[in-house]
Amino acid sequence: MSVPADVRAEVLEFLHQEAELLDDGRLDDWLGLLTEDVSYAMPIRLTRERGQEPALSVEMQFFQEDLATLRLRVHRLRTDFAWAEDPPSRTRHFVTNVRVAAGPTPDEVDVRCNVLVYRNRGASAAADLISGERRDRLRRVGGAWKLARRVFVPDQATLGVDNLAIFV
């Protein structure tokens, strides 16, 4: 079911704002965009023969977070010993192909979009590229949109990254 144009515009604004917070390293502000009951997951992609799907594992995932563990991860990055992000990497979240559908309640929308995360670190010109699809649920809480659920489906079965010390 389609959603009104103003809702769609608000969702786009939300996604762009979120990308800005992530890319500017404002992770405490980013946590403020999440609902108290947020679930944040990144399933493992598998290479399977056609007809032997599912090619996605939710039994084991790269991320399977709630607000408490996301806070813990952000807290860690703020310590003096988070070597994987100190010096910090430079990331750019490109968000595109946004599709907004009505959610299960009047205050929720289901949003799918394509995401490309570019991550560069140190003096190397090489960069990590994480491509995938987000399957988000946004909820209107006190007049503002918040992220209630994210499933990031990566396009790689073997992630081309030394680590996932960033958020997708």
Contacts to other proteins by CB under 8 A? 42, 44, 46-49, 52, 57-65, 68-69, 72-73, 75-76, 79-85, 157-165
Q: Are 145 and 139 in contact (CB under 8 A)?
A: yes
* Residue 113 contacts residue 136 (beta carbons within 8 Å): yes
What is the C-alpha to C-alpha distance for residues 141 and 147, in angstroms, rounded to an integer? Answer: 10
Nearer to other proteins by Cβ, of 87 and 142: the residue is: 87
Alpha-carbon distance of 159 to 122, in angstroms, equals 20
Full strand arrangement of the beta sheet holding 127-141: 56-65, 34-45, 144-154, 127-141, 108-120, 90-102
Cβ at position 23, least distance to other proteins in Å: 18
CB of 46 to other proteins, least distance (A): 5
Q: Return the number of the residue (96 or 124) whose C-beta is nearest other proteins.
A: 124
- Which is closer to other proteins, CB of 66 or CB of 110? 66
Burial readout 31-43 (b: 16 or more C-beta within 10 A, e: otherwise): bebbbeebbbbbb
Query: What's the min distance (Å) between Cβ of 158 and other proteins?
Result: 4
Q: How far is the CB of 30 from other proteins (least distance, A)?
A: 16
Indicate the residue among 7 and 55 with the shorter CB distance to other proteins. 55
